[in-house]
A = this chain, B = another copy of it.
Amino acid sequence: MIIHMSKEATPEQTKAVFRRIEAKDAKYEVIHGTTGINVIGVLGDMSRVEESYFSELDGVEKVIRISKTYKQISRQYAHEGRIRDKETRAIRVKDAVIGGSSLAVMAGPCSVESREQARAIAAYIKDTGVPIMRGGAYKPRTSPYSFQGMGEEGLRVLEEIRQEYGLAVVTEATGQHRHVKPDGSQEERTVLENVVAFADIVQVGARNMKSYGFLQELAMLTRDRQTPVMLKRGESSTLEDFLLAAEYIVANGNPNVMLCLRGIRTFEEGKFQRYTADIGAIPVLKRETLLPIVFDPSHATGYRRNVEAVALAAVAAGADALLIETHSDPTRALCDGEQCVTEEQLRALLRRASAVRDALNQAE
């Protein structure tokens, strides 16, 4: 850390800073300005010390952090190791690999609505070669009057799909304790327990990215089996907050985290786009962390007709995987139908996404 003292800082105020540094077993050096000590450089590990530990002291003008606050997921701290410069930690899920040299794809409906719907979609997904199906059994919805997911019953449908089609399944866990069924009674186990017991990949939704207690529990429940976790970026979280949320899971014992970008909230919200696709975050995250990057073009734009262009952009920018909403009959979807692509659109998208990925692999 670098601490910039104000011009008016008294020697006592400067000493108070020194004492705090020493209290953390660190050393310091100083730079003198024209009116006294101007800059204090802290030497030692400050990664677990907050800026405010110093900035709240009188006479301190500004505190600048140099070391990263996220450590275990950082490329910087890892690169002495086995993983080379552009490589990413590869996460294996059944037959698929996320983070390898080829593009991984997960596709499926926003939520499981019925056995028939889920099977119809699974059938064509399987046929296109997509190895992982998405589908929510627990759906956090903005309105209390909207469909909230099938709950355990939905997980059972997904289990059948998994058996019948040999697809891996990614599904969302929520911070809710126990799901309320349509009849008003509650399920016996918590949503988290249910999902962790079932999923091949546990999805953490954007709304829960900052539910830190939930992230901690999730890590504790999955650390034995190291079930992969797909963490979605909060709609207004900075990249640093996003990385720290991943650090929560890794620091609590589960290193198999993939980061999913899904659009951020900006003034652009409206009739043309629901969210802004944060494409530029891809090269940043690739440089900052070893974790693989998933991109969700469906939520990143909000409208079916923009999904392909945004998906191709994500692949070109270096995403390791795509997460795509598709529905056999988008106009009957119980949730987010507007952003679901049809089977036909999915096939075209996959074909072009592969073409882009192949072209870039060759042009490397």
Q: Does A50 contact B146, Cβ atoms closer than 8 Å? A: yes
Contact status of A280 and B277, CB under 8 A, knowing A2-B39, A333-B56: yes
Contact with B along A164-175 (1 / 0, CB 8 A): 000000000011
Q: Is A301 on the interface with B (CB-CB < 8 A)?
A: yes
Say yes or no for A283: interface residue by CB 8 A criterion.
yes
The reply to whether B39 and A33 form a contact with Cβ atoms under 8 Å apart is no
CA distance A265 to B58 in the complex (A): 27
Question: Is A130 an interface residue, CB under 8 A from the partner?
Answer: no
Q: A283 to B30, alpha carbons, bound, how many Å?
A: 32
Q: Which residues of B contact A333 (CB under 8 A)?
A: 52, 56
CB pair A310–B279 under 8 Å, yes or no, is yes
Contacts of A356 in B (CB 8 A): 316, 356, 359-360
CB distance from A310 to the nearest CB of B (A): 5
CA–CA, A315 to B317, complex, Å? 10
Q: Are B351 and A355 in contact (CB under 8 A)?
A: no
Take A146-B50, A212-B144, A216-B176 as given contacts and tell me if A31 and B33 are in contact as well, using a CB distance cutoff of 8 Å: no
Residues of chain B within 8 A of A138, CB atoms compared: 213
- Copy tally for this chain in the complex stands at 4
Question: What is the bound-complex CA distance between A177 and B176, given in angstroms?
Answer: 8
A93 interface contact, C-beta 8 A: no
Shortest CB distance A237–B (Å): 9
CB neighbours (8 Å) of A220 from chain B are 180
| Chain B residue contacts of A287, Cβ below 8 A | 305
| Most interface-central of A31, A190, A315, A330 (chain B CB within 10 A) | A31
Task: Provide the bound-state CA to CA distance between A252 and B57, in Å.
Answer: 38
Interface size on A, residues (CB 8 A): 120
A338 at the interface (CB under 8 A from B): yes
Segment of A94-102, A116-124, A155-163, A268-276 in the binding face: A268-276
Q: Mark A194-214, 1 if CB is under 8 A from B, else 0.
A: 000000000000011011111
> Which of B58, B148, B217, B235 is A176 in contact with, Cβ under 8 Å?
B217
- Pick from B62, B192, B265, B276: contact of A278, CB below 8 A: B276
**Bound: A208/B175 CA distance, A:** 9
State whether A338 touches B176 (Cβ < 8 A): no
Shortest C-beta distance, A282 to chain B (Å), equals: 6
A29 within 8 A of B: yes
CA distance A315 to B142 in the complex (A): 30
Give chain A's interface residues, CB within 8 Å of chain B: 2, 4, 29-34, 38-39, 41, 43, 47-48, 50, 52, 55-58, 61-62, 64, 66, 69, 138, 140-146, 148, 174-180, 190-192, 207-208, 210-214, 216-217, 220, 235-236, 238-241, 244, 247-248, 251-252, 263-273, 275-284, 286-288, 300-301, 305-306, 308-310, 312-318, 330-333, 335-338, 351-352, 355-356, 358-360, 362-363
A-B contact pairs, 19 of them (CB 8 A): A30-B31, A52-B335, A56-B338, A142-B241, A148-B212, A174-B211, A175-B175, A177-B192, A263-B280, A266-B267, A279-B279, A280-B301, A283-B305, A283-B310, A284-B306, A310-B317, A315-B316, A316-B316, A351-B363
The 8 closest A-B pairs by CB, nearest first: A176-B213, A236-B236, A175-B175, A31-B41, A359-B359, A316-B316, A313-B313, A283-B309
